[in-house]
Amino acid sequence: MTSATALGILLALILQFVTSFNGISQDDNTALSRYLVPLNGLKRPFRREGSSVVKPFRNFATGLVDKDKLWLLLPWKLGKQEKFPIREDPEAVNVGSSRRSIHSTKKIFMGAYPYKLQGGELHGFAMAEMACRESGEAFFGDGGFRALLTSHHRPLDKIMPRHLSNLPLVNLHGDLLAKDWQDFLYGRLANNTLISMDGSKEEISPRWNWKYYWLGDGYRRTCTSWTSSYLMDVANVIALDYENQEVVHDIASCSSNLHLLCYSVCEDYDQFL
C-alpha cells in the first residue's frame, strides 16, 4: 500500500511538471527593452536570436519587417521605378544660371524617410543608416543614402566633411534647398520644399503642421544614442520653415513620432560617391 501511494504521488508530480512545462509561453524567451514604455510599431520585444540581420533582396527593405517600423515593406511600383534622383523636367536643367550651376557640380541630395519614428525605434545610429540606405535602394535602386543624425562620435560640425560643406543642398527633384551646409543649418533656405522618398512633397504650412526631423546634438540630446523612447529623454530636432525660409531648431521628447532625414552626395544623376 505504501509503495502504491508513493508511486501515485510520483506520477502526480511528473504530470504536474509536464503540464507546467508545456504551459510556458514561447514569448518568455525574450530580452525586454531597456525602458518599459511601449513603442508604437513594435509588435513584441526582440528575441535574443533575432539580433542578426540578413541583407534584404534588392528593392525591398525586409531586414526586420515584423519587429519595427524601420523595416516595413516599402511599396513596390512595378514598372515605375525611377533612376535617382528624379527629374521633374529634363529641360529644366537648362533654365536659369543658378539651376545650371547646381547640375554642373556635386550636390547633397536630401530626402525624408517615408515613416514616422520614435527616437528609440531608430535602434541606434547604424540601424538608422541602414534604414536610409535600404529605403534609397527600394525606391531608386541606389543605396548611397545616409542618415542625417548626430552621435557621440559624429557631432553636428563633423557630419559633413569640410571639403563637401560648400556643396549645394537639393531635394530629390534637384531643386535648390540651400546654397551650402551652413546655410541649411543656420542660414537661409531657397524657395523649394523637401520631397519624401515615396514621392510626397512637403507643403508650406503653419507652424502647428510642420514636419520635425530627428537630429541630436552629438552628446546628451540624442535619445541615448537613438535607443530610447522614454518620455523624459529628449533630442534636438529641426523643422523647415518654408514661409520664412529658415531652419528652426527645437527640442522634442524621444517618445515623439517624428521624421528621419536622409542624404547622399551625388555628382551626376546616375552616380554616387
How many CB atoms are closer than 10 A to CB 32?
Answer: 8
- The confidence score (pLDDT) of residue 18 equals 58
Q: Is residue 192 part of a domain?
A: yes
CATH code of the domain in which 153 resides = 3.10.100.10
Q: Is 134 left (phi over 0), alpha (psi -120 to 50) or beta?
A: alpha
What pLDDT is stored for residue 137 in this prediction?
Answer: 85
Residue-wise pLDDT tens digits, 154-210: 888 888 888 888 999 999 888 999 999 989 988 789 989 999 988 888 888 888 889
Pick from 18, 56, 263: nearest CA to 144: 263
Nearest CA-CA partner of 45 in 60, 35, 55, 56: 35
Q: Is residue 122 part of a domain?
A: yes
Domain count, the chain: 1
15 lies in some domain: no
Specify the pLDDT at position 53: 32
**Residue 70 covered by a domain:** yes
* Per-residue cell: 99: 539651376
Q: What is the pLDDT, as a whole number, of residue 214?
A: 96
pLDDT of residue 2: 66
Does residue 30 fall inside a structural domain? no
| Predicted pLDDT of residue 25 | 44
Residues spanned by the domain of 211: 62-266
pLDDT at position 271 is 42
Residue 151 lies in a domain: yes
Which residues in the chain land under pLDDT 50?
Answer: 24-84, 86, 88-103, 269-273
Q: Is residue 45 part of a domain?
A: no
